[in-house]
Structure 1
Amino acid sequence: MARPHPDSADQPAVTCAVLTVSDTRTPETDKSGQLIQDQLAAAGHRVSDYQVVKDEPEQIAALVQSLAARSDIQAILLSGGTGIAPRDTTYDALARLLDKELPGFGEIFRQLSYAEIGSRAIASRAVAGVCNATLIFSLPGSSNAVALAMEALILPEIRHLTSLLR
């Protein structure tokens, strides 16, 4: 897989918020949220906020807007609620908030997922974009999907993308 050009040394660590969207997970049972936090920390980034929120679009939207308004947060990473089941509403909540969408994220994520899980990748509504100059990544709740997105797409680009928004 091709790797992007290296980030310049002056691109600082990114301060992030991590949200898990789930009606059933708790902080103690949230493997995907913990994986995101662990991988961000291992890459030198900071997590300043972590929450589990119910899959209710109004709650998701309000929380994302509140976090995106904070000057200390440059990126928000969400896991869960990106499928097509009736309770999967993360995409719907975010779509109306994004000032700009990064369609390449979802496209490439689904392509990479297809290589791993086959045609079921079409059910993912993973999305990335910008809300109030804050980078947003919305991932499926599966730990395997989170690991794939973090390793292949988010960690290689998060410093660069947030630097473009500063």
Structure 2
Amino acid sequence: MQSITAKIQQMAQPLLEKHGFYLVDIEYVKEGANWYLRLYIDKPAGIDIEECALFNQELSDKLDEQAPDLIPNAYFLEVSSPGAERPLKTEQDLQRAVGKYIHVSLYQKQQQQKIFEGVLLDYDSQYLRLRQHQNNKFSEIELARKNIAAMRLAIEF
């Protein structure tokens, strides 16, 4: 059986494509007594609140048309931007992040540290290659993808 989020993603895809948006993440979670269906969307030039509201309304209308309901209980639908420091989870996320500053957390230390930040130069199925700036010097480092716990875009200070 397909999960609720997979079904919603499949339903949302034509709406996303219609507007030139893409899905960054989707979650269906219970927080306290309430259920939330959250979609994080974006587009190459960045997304604004009006576009999120438009997509929210269109998806809500489409969900209301479904019989039987895809979601068995009452829920809140939230559509938003993933934010400036959004997670990088998919291959498409990585493709869009090449040339951008990212934060990488590792499961095990490499060169005596578990956190790396730098510009994502490139990647393949085995490694990410970052350009770091430390102590007024630039260096490149390869990080094994199997050792990566989490990745996200980062703001460089």
Shared fold per TM-score greater than 0.5: no
Q: Scaled by the length of structure 1, what TM-score is found?
A: 0.23
Bigger proportion of residues as strand? 2
Question: Which structure exhibits the higher relative contact order, with contacts defined as CA atoms closer than 8 Å and separated by 6 or more residues?
Answer: 1
- Rg: which structure is higher? 2
Q: Scaled by the length of structure 2, what TM-score is found?
A: 0.24
Bigger proportion of residues as helix? 1
